[in-house]
Structure 1
Amino acid sequence: MGVIAGSGFPTLDVLDGARAESVGTAYGPVDVTRGTWHGHPVVFVPRHGVGHVVPPHRIEYRAIVRALADLGVRDVVAVNVTGGIDPDLRPGELVCVDDFLDLTRRRESTFHDGEGAGGVVHTDMTTAYDPELRREVLDAASAIGQPVVDGGVYACFDGPRFESPAEIRLAALAGGTVAGMTGVPEVTLAAEAGLRYAAVSLVVNPAAGVRPGEPITMAEISAVMETGVPRVLAVLDELVHTRAVLTGEAVLTGEDDA
Structure 2
Amino acid sequence: MSRQPLGVVAGTGFASIDALDEVVHERVRTAYGEVALTRGTWHGLPVVFVPRHGVGHVVPPHRIDHRALIRALADLEVRDVVAVNVTGGIDPDLEPGDLVCVDDFLDLTRGRETTFFENEGAGGVVHTDMTHAYHPVLRRELLDAAGAAGETVVDGGVYACFDGPRFESPAEIRLAALAGGTVVGMTGVPEVTLAVEAGLRYAAISLVVNPAAGVRPEEPITMEEIEAVMGTGVPRVLAVLDELVHTRAVLAVEDDA
TM superposition score category, shorter chain reference: over 0.9
| Paired residue type of 2:137 | E
The answer to whether the aligner puts 1:156 opposite 2:150 as a matched pair is no
Query: Residue in 2 aligned with 1:254?
Result: none
| Paired residue type of 1:248 | V
CA RMSD of aligned residues (A): 1.3
2:36 to 6, 31, 40: 31
More displaced 10-residue stretch of structure 1: 108-117 or 209-218 = 108-117
Q: Offset at 1:249?
A: 8.4
Query: Residue in 2 aligned with 1:113?
Result: 118
The answer to whether the aligner puts 1:8 opposite 2:5 as a matched pair is no
Maintained 8 Å contact 1:113/1:119 = no
Aligned mates of 1:161, 1:148 — CA distance in 2: 27
| Paired residue type of 1:198 | A
Query: Residue in 2 aligned with 1:243?
Result: 248
TM-score with structure 1 setting the length: 0.95
Unaligned runs of 5+ in 1: 251-258
Determine helix, strand or coil for the equivalent of 1:83: strand
Determine helix, strand or coil for the equivalent of 2:181: coil
Query: Residue in 1 aligned with 2:104?
Result: 99
TM-score with structure 2 setting the length: 0.96
Q: 1:86-132, CA deviations, whole angstroms, 9 ceiling, x for partnerless residues?
A: 00000000000000000001100000013344431000000000000
Q: Offset at 1:213?
A: 3.2
The answer to whether the aligner puts 1:135 opposite 2:140 as a matched pair is yes
Aligned mates of 2:39, 2:65 — CA distance in 1: 20
| Paired residue type of 1:162 | F
State percent identity of aligned pairs. Answer: 81
Q: 1:131-177, CA deviations, whole angstroms, 9 ceiling, x for partnerless residues?
A: 00000000000012100000000000000000000000000000000
The answer to whether the aligner puts 1:205 opposite 2:204 as a matched pair is no
Aligned mates of 1:113, 1:130 — CA distance in 2: 24
Determine helix, strand or coil for the equivalent of 1:200: strand
Determine helix, strand or coil for the equivalent of 1:53: coil
Q: Offset at 1:12?
A: 1.3
Q: 1:89 to 1:50 in 2, by over 3 A?
A: same
Q: Offset at 1:84?
A: 0.1
The answer to whether the aligner puts 1:190 opposite 2:178 as a matched pair is no
